[in-house]
Structure 1
């Protein structure tokens, strides 16, 4: 996949890389807010931490071979996953974005996300 197609595929997530590692991030606030509102009474608000909680469930259940390879470093306004294995992170980014767009799958995964 070309880098332009990859960036379009994962949008609104965005890719950043350095010599030794890469990250895929999302500035939270505008994307999939309705998902997090379904559990607002539990304290979910769609923060970077909430996105990381969702991504952890996805990783554990759908790509367990990447657990420990893909790591998370969220902030309140930013979700961020990173890895020194750029190809593994690309696989994760594409699969996670696809899952987020699948209404049934993402609501199922989110039902098991835990507040961080």
Structure 2
């Protein structure tokens, strides 16, 4: 099961090799669309910066997700994963909103701990 539309440009899927474990992913090609917003705040527009966006989104808008989602970004890819599909879907909603609304993205970046973006 792969959902490429509900949280676009992020994809949500269940790992084939690990049923019951889920992933929310944003690739580097998609990150380019909002790179300028991250760079305006002094961050490279990679997976590590998107972890900062995700952590800030959770803190500001969905603190009930704290500890229910794990992160494993790389320079060219953001990944959130875990066994709580509903928590990942909620995070997907928040990140989709941030991606499509530059003011929201800016809010999440500005409110985040700078250590989260490295």
Q: 1:94 and 2:96 equivalent? A: no
CA distance in 2, matches of 1:112, 1:8: 28
Measured after TM superposition, the shift of residue 27 of structure 1 is: 0.9
Match of 1:82 in 2: 81
CA distance in 1, matches of 2:109, 2:33: 15
Measured after TM superposition, the shift of residue 20 of structure 1 is: 2.4
Q: 2:92 is paired with a residue of what secondary structure?
A: helix
Kindly provide the CA deviation profile for residues 81-107 of structure 1, in whole angstroms up to 9, marking residues without a partner as x: 112011221122122211332222221
CA distance in 2, matches of 1:98, 1:104: 10
Structure 1: tracts of 5 or more residues without a match: none
Q: 1:10 is paired with a residue of what secondary structure?
A: coil
CA distance in 2, matches of 1:58, 1:97: 11
CA distance in 1, matches of 2:89, 2:78: 16
Structure 2: tracts of 5 or more residues without a match: none
Match of 2:20 in 1: 20
Kindly provide the CA deviation profile for residues 27-69 of structure 1, in whole angstroms up to 9, marking residues without a partner as x: 12423111112023xxx11110011011101111111001100
Measured after TM superposition, the shift of residue 12 of structure 1 is: 1.5
TM-score by length of 1: 0.83
* Superposition RMSD in Å: 1.9
Q: 2:4 is paired with a residue of what secondary structure?
A: helix
Q: 1:94 is paired with a residue of what secondary structure?
A: helix
